[in-house]
Amino acid sequence: MSTLQVKGEQLKKAVLFISEKRKENPDINLAKLVDDASLQFDLSPKDSQFLLRFVKNDNRQNSA
């Protein structure tokens, strides 16, 4: 029997997934990574857009 995830729990898991993948490969394509995470964690389009903005903003802050 499947259990429902609390709203936002899947997004948290996607952020952790992306964080781990970026540690393994810092030069990974962020848009592709977000697409993969969105599919794997069944994110809504709104959550996917947020995630992409989040990782791009994080990438800019880490580059500075």
Domain range summary for the chain, segments of one domain joined by +: 10-63
Alpha carbon distance 1, 9 (integer Å): 18
Check if the beta carbon of residue 16 is closer than 8 Å to that of residue 41.
Answer: no
- pTM assigned to the model: 0.80
Give me the pLDDT at residue 1, please.
44
pLDDT of residue 34: 96
> Which pLDDT belongs to residue 6?
61
Residue carrying structure tokens 């880490």 = 62
Averaged in consecutive runs of 10 residues, what is the pLDDT profile of the chain (64 residues)?
Answer: 67 95 94 96 94 85 66
